[in-house]
Structures are given as C-alpha cells and as structure tokens.
Amino acid sequence: MTKVNELHQKWMKNKEYSKAHEELAPEFALARAVIHARVTAGLTQEQLAQRMDTTQSVIARLESGRTRPSTQTLERLAVATGTRLHISFEPAGVH
C-alpha cells in the first residue's frame, strides 16, 4: 500500500474527513471517468485539449476534480475521445 493510501485509510477513521470524502465521491468518480476516457483513447492531455479546442490546463483541472464541467464540456470530451456520454440517476445511498 502506498503512503497516500495508508494516510487515506488512517484519515477515513476521522468522522469529518470521512464525511467530506463521501460528499466528494461524485467529483472523484467524474475525474476518474475523464482520465479513463482520455487514456483509453490513447491521448495525452495536450492532444485531448487540441481536439476539444481548449488548453491542457483545462484538461488537468477536469482530471483533478477541481472543476465541475458543464454537460456541453462533457459532450465535447465524449466526441474528442470517441466515447458516448451517459448520465444517470441512482437511488440515494447507491455508489
């Protein structure tokens, strides 16, 4: 286990940290999905940025979870990576 994972496991025992982590789960999932789409398409951040007519720093922010992209941005990302955007709603409590 990496140091980061060890720290995360330790901090998850803290109620406030655990709650904050849970609240951010959708952002983490979206960031992982963006990274997966780019990597699966065999693109660098710079190449994806060019296909989306944006900058590499925008892609980096999307992949870090520091920004909440619009559906328009997600649609452009899907086209640029040759994927299909699928948004769904699940019952509360399902992750």
Residue-wise pLDDT for 46-72, tens only, equals: 999 999 999 999 999 999 988 899 999
pLDDT at residue number 94: 60
Query: Residues near 69 by Cβ (< 8 Å), separated by ≥ 6?
Result: 30, 62, 77
CB atoms inside a 10 Å sphere around CB 37: 19
Average pLDDT along the chain: 93
Nearest residue to 26 (alpha-carbon basis) of 79, 69, 85, 81? 69
Tokens of 7: 């720290």
Among 4-8, 14-18, 33-37, which range has the highest average pLDDT?
33-37
* Whole-prediction pTM: 0.81
Q: Provide, rounded to the nearest whole percent, the portion of the chain with pLDDT above 90.
A: 71
User: Which CATH number is 3-81's, of 3.40.190.10, 1.10.10.10, 3.90.209.20, 1.10.260.40?
Assistant: 1.10.260.40
| Residue 87 reports pLDDT greater than 70 | yes
Domain locations in the chain as residue ranges: 3-81
Could you tell me the pLDDT band of residue 4, with boundaries at 50, 70 and 90?
Answer: confident
pLDDT at residue 95 greater than cutoff 60: no
